[in-house]
Structure 1
Amino acid sequence: MASFRKRGSTREYRIVYTDRQTRKQKEKSKGGFRTKREAQLAAAEEESKINHYGFAENGEEKVESYFNEWLEVYKRPNVKPITYSVQERNVRLNILPRWGKYRLNELTRSEYQKWINELREHYSEGTVRRIHSIMNCAMIDAVHEFNILRSNPLQKIKVPKYVTKQDAVSYYTKVQLDKFLNTVNTPVKNAKYKASIQYYALFTLLSRTALRIGEALALTWDDIDTETGRLTVNKTLVYPLNSTPYISTPKSKNSVRQIKLDDPTVKLMKRHRVNQKEVILMYENYMASKDNLVFHQQDGRWLRTNVVREYFKEVCKRAELPVLSPHALKHSHAVHLLEAGANIKYVSEQLGHASVKVTADTYLHITNKIEDDALALYERYVQNGQIMGKQPRRSRKSL
């Protein structure tokens, strides 16, 4: 509720309101109005902004308070749940620890650019661009949607393009991958469900198709046609932190695709389906999936992504291999295809990339073999050109 008072020859309003985040009382005042009516109209407009946006100060709002409100009210209802999860995680883990205690009007381009440069030393260019995109989008809204900043202090920020160690794609060589899969396929003594080949089937499928882990865990048996050897990808499992898992659409429209399986993988998936039924009969507390899932927990529900990651790490340790993540199997498949000489357009479609350029930028610089093969092709081309490059004699008729 606004109150008004006369100060000299002008009028001033004062608004007391409760901050939505801290639940503490705040106030906003402004003077210089010639009449009480002018002050009342200005106060009504300001109260409307406070009620609608939750903000009042001209850039005085704390970054932490602003982002919490911005995410909950203006991002969650307007983006896919999986997109919101990524944005919320980046805000919580990267943006707020550095900027949360600042006021919006304390952000400067110079200090922010230094932070972006520091991030680039630890993260890939793509990751830093995502973090900056979230921060910049929030500042644009602060200017144009909420009118609590006069201008965006983060304009013309540049993300460094130089390569860091984080840019290197983690993958297993063919020998390492064989060792990893052989280790998965070796029963562990005292394992609770050691008759199950589920993880062997899962990790083999990831390494032979470049599926993302969420795409694999969302699969039902209806998605795999073992007669034609085709696998349909049209959904992904999202397992948010401290929240209920759910099925969502894939990462992008290019992620909806069909993948042709090689014969050994088709045979393994057939074997896994039979083994799945055998395990259900073998263990009293092992239940079938009501959703016809290809991979599931012993209670029939979706496999948890964090459990899969932990199991993957344990296998890496047993196999005495670098401890990576299941995503390394996707990279491994892409690298092995390129090393085998597969057409890059095919590889791009297999991975569900938005364009061939994404695939090329990600993988073509990471193996010596690809470079060596390219140079060998070039050398053969040049040598053949030298041998056959003599100018043919011109006939008299052509003169």
Structure 2
Amino acid sequence: MASFRKRGCTCEKKKCTCGAKWEYRIKYVDRQTGKTKEKSKGGFTSKKEAQLAAAEEELKINQFGFAENGNEVVLNYFSEWLEVFKKPNVKPITYSVQERNVRLNILPRWGKYRLKDITRTEYQKWINELRDHYSEGTVRRIHSIFSSAIHDAVHEFHIIRENPIQKIKIPKDVENTNRVQYFSKEQLEKFLNSLKTPQKNAKYKHSIQYYVLFSLMARTGIRIGEALALTWDDFNEKEKSISITKTLVYPLNSTPYISTPKSLKSVRIVKLDEQTVKLLKKHKINQNEVILRYKNYKASKDNVMFHQHDGRWLRTNVVREYFKEVCKRTDLPVLSPHALRHSHAVHLLEAGANIKYVSERLGHASTKVTADTYLHITEKIENEALELYSQYIKF
């Protein structure tokens, strides 16, 4: 509730002529302590101006509920920030990642600190310590969340005046900087050929599902979530293409759901080569054969292209583990299914494909993303092109 008064008014008449300024006072309950606090501000030339400013401030206090002057404890601030300001505005999978990093990495170290007690030096030491346990990319994600929260504390909620963690340096990986993991043509052939022969302990030996799934990813560069979200309606046999309009999100210990792709550019039509078209047609027949052959193998109600024996979507973590097992038994580098996407991009570039085409096929936000990701390959292509030019021009 706000109250108003003129400060230092000496006028006895109703109409003030001394030029005294108006002030508001607001009493509110601090969510952190439960105690009643008061905020005041003066310097307003009229009562109406003070009333408008007070109404705006009361709205902020009711909406944000944060303590002032940097006294807000990190635990309380991050909990409120995540729930009220992040959860409604980001994808569920993004929120899940952010919440997990806050809970497991940020709060154990900083939870009891007040925002104003965070210093750049202590924070930088913590970042350096994180690099002893996590990859550069993981530490960057943790720092990004922390930095975003502190930026809001400064510019949105005005809890603190300055951001103490600006210009923090993330120690880089000494080796494999800007390198992506992929299979050579020979390695990829070895990997896929090993899937043609079912393992002795395989439960559904007649199924060719994993061979088709990994072949499709390797020959199109689609992401694992995009592949697992595919239905047979997305396959256009006549046009020799698949439509990428969705992605499967399978959060840890939670219910899977279909979401929009990573970016607007990720929504795309991906052309298929003749061999891949034949493989998908064969898979569709094989899928029906497997359902008839095994009593407990059910069809998917959603017409899913790759699914579990009970008809539900394949679990991404199960696919990753299976992928790693194949790598081990074929004596190949143990990579993740995402390596198939990188492999496709690298092989396209090595084959002479235009980088714009590769970028659009992969669904990258821009060609710069493609060029930066496959820097070592594009440099190799540029060097080879320059060498060809040198041999041609010879004068």
TM-score interval (norm. to shorter): 0.7 to 0.9
Aligned Cα RMSD in Å? Answer: 3.3
Q: Is the 8 A contact 1:280 1:288 kept in 2?
A: yes
Q: Which of 367, 374, 379 is the equivalent residue of 2:387?
A: 379
Aligned residue among 275, 279, 284 for 2:295: 284
Unaligned 5+ runs, structure 2: 2-24, 42-50
1:333-372 Cα deviation digits (max 9, x unpaired): 111111111111111111111111111111131x5xx655
1:243 paired with 2:251, answer no
Task: Tell me how far apart the structure 1 counterparts of residues 83 and 270 of structure 2 sit (CA, whole Å).
Answer: 37
Contact 2:30 2:66 in 1 (8 A): no
Tell me the residue number matched to 2:74: 63
Counterpart of 1:307 (choices 318, 338, 342) is 318
Aligned length: 363
- Matching residue's letter, 2:321: E
- Structure 1 counterpart of 2:111: 100
Q: Aligned equivalents of 2:382 and 2:68: distance in 1?
A: 60
Q: 1:28 to 1:104 in 2, by over 3 A?
A: farther
Q: Report the identity percentage.
A: 68
CA spacing shift, 1:96–1:164, aligned 2, 3 Å: farther
Q: Select which of 134, 147, 168 maps to 2:158.
A: 147
Instruction: Determine if contact 1:67/1:138 at 8 Å carries over to the other structure.
Output: yes
Q: Does the 8 Å CA contact 2:212/2:279 hold for their aligned counterparts?
A: yes
SS in 2 for 1:237: strand
Which of 190, 202, 208 is equivalent to 1:197? Answer: 208
Deviation at 1:302, TM superposition (A): 1.0
What is the distance in 1 between the residues matched to 2:39 and 2:86? 35
Q: Counterpart of 1:268?
A: 279
| SS across alignment from 1:165 | coil
TM-score under structure 1 normalisation?
Answer: 0.80
Q: Which residue in the other structure is 1:252 paired with?
A: 263
TM-score, normalised with respect to structure 2: 0.81
Deviations 1:150-173 (A, max 9, x none): 322233445577865364211111
Selected match of 1:180 from 167, 185, 191: 191
Give 1:306-385 correspondences, 5 Å limit.
306-365=317-376, 367=377, 373-385=381-393
1:206 to 210, 217, 239: 217
One-letter amino acid matched to 1:345 = K
- Structure 1: gaps (5+ residues): 2-11, 20-24, 34-40, 390-399
CA distance in 2 between counterparts of 1:32 and 1:50 reads 13
Measured after TM superposition, the shift of residue 376 of structure 1 is 3.8
Q: Give the Cα separation in 1 of the matches to 2:267 and 2:27.
A: 55
State the match for 1:392 in structure 2. none
Q: CA 1:318–1:383 in structure 2 vs 1: closer, same or farther (change >3 Å)?
A: closer
CA-CA distance at 1:202 after TM superposition: 0.7
Matches of 1:118 and 1:162, distance apart in 2: 14
Q: Return the alpha-carbon distance in structure 1 between the equivalents of residues 304 and 143 of structure 2.
A: 38
> Does residue 218 of the first structure (1) align with residue 229 of the second (2)?
yes
